[in-house]
A and B are shown apart, each in its own frame.
Chain A
């Protein structure tokens, strides 16, 4: 309330000052600023804008006080924005219409001491007279600069172990390890139906490490076009691939699974980040998008209790890759 009163008082003072008639200057008094004509219309506009700013500011306070208003945040922003905008507009009109302005260009002054420049050049030249082994000094300086530059470039090696690629093949997937869901329940081959989309993890291993999560889908065995050496990797058409996209490491969370193949796009595993699209029927080949290499496939087996187990390690290194990193063979 007190704030509101202050606003009213301030406003009254403002109007009083602007509305008061100008004091007449004595005609013989010498002026610096050339006289300009009065502009009552511009003054009225400024006063109107300032009053609008005040009204919007008061509206802000009112909206703030009204708790539980729908779109309160939006209205707060609107009132404050209009208030500041009106204030800015008032200042612009004030500056352009009511203040006398003139534009004066000034030439650069002539240098006061024209000989100083030559003297400075001479001082610099003569200051180097004490050096006797200029070439050695230059070489040492070059060595310092070069070594420092090299030191700054060294961390590039951290972008990926280009020399030691064996770590990419160290995964928790060893032959015989069971596939479990996020609650630790083993996945049965009978649970996986065509068009289902499951995420599975290695039993007893940290599910957060990069090579842990795999997607499990099932295709009709007649649809499969796996390379000959992987012919036994998909028992009954059940396939497992790394869930980590080979482009930027996002999780493959989109599965395109057509109800009716003849007229619909074929099955695909799709990464939501940049739409890299992999064909699960042909061993995870890239069919679209920026990924540079196929999705690593995990060989599967079905044990006598119909539970899914890993048949070995992935077909390639898991995780994002760039500049040929992760393309190397295990060392």
Chain B
């Protein structure tokens, strides 16, 4: 009897998983057959045509209003990439933000599906479309953590939370920065991915950016002298622990100690 139930459950789960897999849009990387024999720019052009052009247009011209479904039935809509330079291409590919399954989705950090040579080739190709900013070279070791804390509080913490644990802005999620490398932070500050504002060198100089990165790296594991951080997201989880765990435990203890008066 029991085995039959388990079997039914397993079949049901299998059908469900199959359905989920079927419902998902096609993902993965389209690769040219002979990658080794190509020059980096050629490989980049091939990868761009196969994986990016349905949204970003041929030669990175952008697709503002989609005429018809592109490759893999993707309703392509994406910004032009001419002039964004290696900086933006490197950020989006390094973090796994691109390629995006659905243009209306917010890109999130994912496993990078491109190999390192493929990524470099694609970045070089996007950079070759039109002159644009290169990949920044931040030096967080030269920055000052206290100064970085001040700047982060002023410019970034409103959305990213004071120890960079992320949050929400109305209409979008704000990613945590705990996994972001120095180069990624430097790139994101300049390009403003998704709905993040951009910060020019006038607003945040390169030296100030070094301090901000030093601060973000210093709060990966913030000092928690007063107790466990519980996610470092402020007093709400601490209150939840106090009320839902400690409070319930106290009530149970009282009920166990006390005797109900009869009569």
Contact = CB atoms under 8 A, between A and B. Distances in A.
Interface stretch (A164-172, A224-232, A257-265): A257-265
A256 interface: yes
Given A74-B228, A105-B263, A198-B203, A265 B172 contact: yes
Given A197-B197, A253-B158, A191 B228 contact: no
Given A196-B203, A268-B171, A275-B170, A259 B79 contact: yes
A49 to B, nearest CB: 14
Contacts of B202: 191
Contacts of B203: 196-198
Contacts of B257: 92
A67 to B, nearest CB: 13
B251 interface: no
Interface in A207-243: 217
Nearest to A271: B158
B197 A257 contact: yes
Given A92-B257, A262-B64, A268-B171, A257 B192 contact: yes
B169 interface: yes
A253 B158 CA distance: 5
B159 interface: yes
Interface string B208-229: 0000000000000000011110
Given A259-B79, A288-B170, A265 B195 contact: yes
Contacts, number: 84
A286 B159 CA distance: 19
A195 B195 CA distance: 9
B40 interface: no
A303 interface: no
Chain B interface size range: 35 or more
Contact of B200 (A196, A217, A255, A260): A196
B77 A264 contact: no
B193 A259 contact: yes
Interface residues of A, number: 32
A198 B169 CA distance: 18
B104 A73 contact: no
Interface string A184-198: 000000010101111
B78 A260 contact: yes
A257 B196 contact: yes
A198 B261 CA distance: 68
A11 to B, nearest CB: 25
B159 A254 contact: yes
Contacts of B77: 260, 262-263
B103 interface: yes
Contacts of B103: 263
Interface of B is mostly: loop
Given A191-B202, A196-B203, A256 B192 contact: no
Given A77-B227, A196-B199, A254-B159, A270 B169 contact: yes
A97 to B, nearest CB: 13
A289 B199 CA distance: 26
A19 interface: no
A277 interface: yes
Contacts of A256: 169-172, 195
Interface in B76-105: 77-79, 103-104
Contacts of B36: none
- Max chain B CB contacts within 10 Å: which of A92, A191, A197? A197
A211 B167 CA distance: 28
B115 interface: no
A92 to B, nearest CB: 6
Contacts of B33: none
A100 B103 CA distance: 75
B58 interface: no
Nearest to A73: B225
A103 interface: yes
A202 to B, nearest CB: 19
Nearest to A191: B202
Contacts of B104: 263
A260 B79 contact: yes
A73 B228 CA distance: 9
Interface of B: 64-65, 77-79, 103-104, 157-159, 168-172, 191-200, 202-203, 225-228, 257, 261-263
Please give me the 4 A-B residue pairs with the lowest Cβ-Cβ distance, nearest first: A253-B158, A265-B171, A260-B79, A197-B197
